[in-house]
Structure 1
Amino acid sequence: MFRPLSIFVGARYTRAKRRNHFISFISMTSMIGLGLGVLAMIVVLSVMNGFQKEMSSRILGMVPHATILGAKPLDDWQPVAAAAMKNPEVLAAVPFTDMDGMLSYKGYMQPIQVSGVDPAQEGKVSIVADHIVQGSMQDLKPGEFGVVIGDITARRFRLSVGDKLTLIVPELSGEPGGITPRMQRLNVVGVFKVGAELDGSMALIHMADAAQIQHWQPNQVQSVRLKLKDLYMAPQVSKAIAGTLGDGYKADDWTHTQGSLFSAMKMEKTMIGLLLLMIVAVAAFNIIATLIMVVNDKGADIAILRTLGATPRQIMGIFMVQGTVIGVVGTLIGGVLGIIAALNVSAMVGWIERVTGQHIFTSDVYFISNLPSDLQAGDVVMICSAGLILSFLATIYPAWRAAQIEPAYALRYE
Structure 2
Amino acid sequence: MFNFLPVRIGLRYARAKRNNHFISFISFSSIAGLALGVAVLIVVLSVMNGFDRELRQRILGMVPHATLWGSPNLLNWQADAQLVEALPGVLGVAPHTQAQVMFQSKKGVQGALLNGIDPELEAKVSIIDEHMVKGSLQALNDQSFGIILGEQLAKILRVKLGDKVTAILPEANVSIAGITPRLKRFTLVGIFKVGAELDSSLAYIHVNDAAKLKRLPKGQVEALRISFDNLFKAPTAIWEIARAVPGQNRVSDWTKTHGNLFQAIQMEKTMIALLLLLIIAVAAFNIVSTLVMVVTDKQTDIAILRTMGLTSGQVMCVFIVQGVFIGAFGSILGLILGVLGALNVSAVISWFEKVMNIQFLNADVYFISYLPSELNWQDVKLIMISAFIMTVLATIYPAWRASKVQPAEALRYE
- TM-score bracket, normalised by the shorter chain, equals over 0.9
Question: Displacement of 1:239 after TM fit?
Answer: 0.9
Which residue pairs with 1:165 in the alignment? 165
Question: Displacement of 1:220 after TM fit?
Answer: 1.0
Q: C-alpha distance in 1, partners of 2:173/2:103?
A: 21
1:67-113 CA deviation, whole Å, 9 max, x = no partner? 11121211210121111112221011111112222223347433211
Q: Give the secondary-structure state (helix, strand or coil) at the position aligned to 1:129.
A: helix
1:177-197 CA deviation, whole Å, 9 max, x = no partner? xx9853222221111111222
Which residue pairs with 2:232 in the alignment? 232
Which residue pairs with 1:84 in the alignment? 84
Q: C-alpha distance in 2, partners of 1:113/1:330?
A: 53
Which residue pairs with 2:301 in the alignment? 301
1:335-374 correspondence runs (5 A): 335-374=335-374
Which residue pairs with 2:291 in the alignment? 291
Q: Is the 8 A contact 2:109 2:156 kept in 1?
A: no
Unaligned ranges ≥5, structure 2: none
Q: C-alpha distance in 2, partners of 1:87/1:284?
A: 53
Which residue pairs with 2:99 in the alignment? 99
CA RMSD of the aligned region, Å? 2.0
Q: C-alpha distance in 1, partners of 2:183/2:91?
A: 36
Which residue pairs with 1:5 in the alignment? 5
Letter in 1 for 2:234: A
Q: Is the 8 A contact 1:101 1:167 kept in 2?
A: yes
Question: Displacement of 1:245 after TM fit?
Answer: 2.0
Q: C-alpha distance in 2, partners of 1:112/1:362?
A: 23
Letter in 2 for 1:100: Q
Q: Is the 8 A contact 1:162 1:188 kept in 2?
A: yes
Q: Is the 8 A contact 1:170 1:180 kept in 2?
A: no
Question: Displacement of 1:247 after TM fit?
Answer: 4.4
1:302-341 CA deviation, whole Å, 9 max, x = no partner? 1122222221111111111100000111001100111111
> Structure 1 residues 284, 181: closer, same or farther in 2, change over 3 A?
farther
Which residue pairs with 1:382 in the alignment? 382
Whether 2:187 is the aligned partner of 1:183: answer no
Q: Is the 8 A contact 1:302 1:402 kept in 2?
A: yes
Letter in 2 for 1:268: E
Which residue pairs with 1:281 in the alignment? 281
Question: Displacement of 1:362 after TM fit?
Answer: 4.0
Q: Give the secondary-structure state (helix, strand or coil) at the position aligned to 1:358.
A: coil
Whether 2:202 is the aligned partner of 1:202: answer yes
Q: TM-score under structure 1 normalisation?
A: 0.94
Q: Is the 8 A contact 2:107 2:157 kept in 1?
A: no
Q: C-alpha distance in 1, partners of 2:199/2:184?
A: 21
Q: Is the 8 A contact 2:104 2:157 kept in 1?
A: no
Q: Is the 8 A contact 1:209 1:218 kept in 2?
A: no
Q: C-alpha distance in 1, partners of 2:134/2:240?
A: 39
Which residue pairs with 1:55 in the alignment? 55
Question: Displacement of 1:3 after TM fit?
Answer: 5.1
Q: C-alpha distance in 2, partners of 1:107/1:368?
A: 28
> Structure 1 residues 173, 364: closer, same or farther in 2, change over 3 A?
closer
Q: C-alpha distance in 1, partners of 2:355/2:144?
A: 51
Q: Give the secondary-structure state (helix, strand or coil) at the position aligned to 2:62.
A: coil
Greater shift, 229-238 or 162-171, is seen at 162-171
Q: C-alpha distance in 2, partners of 1:157/1:250?
A: 34
Q: C-alpha distance in 2, partners of 1:383/1:250?
A: 43
Q: C-alpha distance in 2, partners of 1:87/1:74?
A: 18
Q: C-alpha distance in 2, partners of 1:138/1:48?
A: 36
1:3-82 correspondence runs (5 A): 4-82=4-82
Total equivalences in the alignment:
411
Whether 2:141 is the aligned partner of 1:141: answer yes
Q: Is the 8 A contact 1:239 1:250 kept in 2?
A: no
Which residue pairs with 1:328 in the alignment? 328
1:112-142 CA deviation, whole Å, 9 max, x = no partner? 1111001122122211112111222222221
Q: TM-score under structure 2 normalisation?
A: 0.94
1:209-248 correspondence runs (5 A): 209-248=209-248
> Structure 1 residues 9, 209: closer, same or farther in 2, change over 3 A?
same
Q: C-alpha distance in 1, partners of 2:197/2:413?
A: 75
Letter in 2 for 1:356: M
Q: Is the 8 A contact 1:143 1:208 kept in 2?
A: no
Identity of aligned residues (%): 51
Q: Is the 8 A contact 2:196 2:365 kept in 1?
A: no
Q: C-alpha distance in 2, partners of 1:3/1:354?
A: 59
Question: Displacement of 1:172 after TM fit?
Answer: 7.8
